[in-house]
């Protein structure tokens, strides 16, 4: 007779994931690579959005035909795009500055930060 506690619910050695995430050997570096890739992709998306806003604003200026309201709307679109791209690029420097102010100089390198925090 098998009792519920005698049934093996997991394989010998436990579960493991796929690829580099499965081993867990270099988890901080994997997390660092994931975070870096995510920030890079979001920056590329922001740049593409800026290009669309800039081109849309330029077309709006060309198509305004002297209409003050259309011209102002197109200028606002371009200004919004410029402010957005400046904020995205400045965000990295602002985070680094805040990290240095609060005493975490490697705030942009989470793998090194995790190595310092982990208890050995």
SS (H, E, C) 3-37: CHHHCCCCCCCCCCCCHHHHHCCCHHHHHHHHHHH
Residue 39 and residue 119 in contact, taking contact as beta carbons nearer than 8 Å: no
Q: Which two tokens stand for residue 43?
A: 């920056």
The pLDDT assigned to 43 comes to 92
Look at residue 17 in the predicted model and tell me its pLDDT.
66
pLDDT level of residue 81 (50, 70, 90 thresholds)? very high
Mean pLDDT of 17-23: 65
Mean pLDDT (the chain) is 84
pLDDT value of position 22 = 65
Distances (CA, A) of 28 to 14, 65, 90, 115: 21, 56, 26, 8
From the CA atom positions of the chain, what is the Rg in Å? Answer: 25
Measured between alpha carbons, how far is 92 from 80 in angstroms, rounded to an integer? 19
Residue 99 in contact with residue 109, Cβ under 8 Å? no
pTM reported for the whole predicted model: 0.69
Amino acid 106: pLDDT? 82
Crossing angle between the packed helical segments 27-63 and 110-117, to the nearest 10 degrees: 150
pLDDT tens column, 96-119: 899 899 988 888 887 787 777 765
């Amino acid at each position: 007779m098998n009792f519920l506690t005698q049934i093996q619910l997991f394989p010998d050695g436990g579960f493991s994931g796929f690829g580099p995430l499965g081993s867990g050997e270099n988890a901080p570096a994997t997390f660092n690579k994931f975070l870096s890739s995510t920030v890079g992709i979001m920056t590329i998306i922001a740049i593409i959005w800026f290009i669309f806003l800039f081109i849309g604003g330029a077309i709006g200026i060309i198509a305004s035909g002297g209409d003050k309201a259309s011209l102002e709307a197109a200028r606002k679109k371009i200004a919004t795009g410029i402010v957005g791209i400046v904020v995205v690029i400045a965000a990295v420097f602002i985070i680094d500055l805040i990290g240095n102010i609060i005493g975490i100089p490697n705030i942009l390198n989470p793998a090194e930060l995790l190595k310092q925090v982990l208890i050995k």
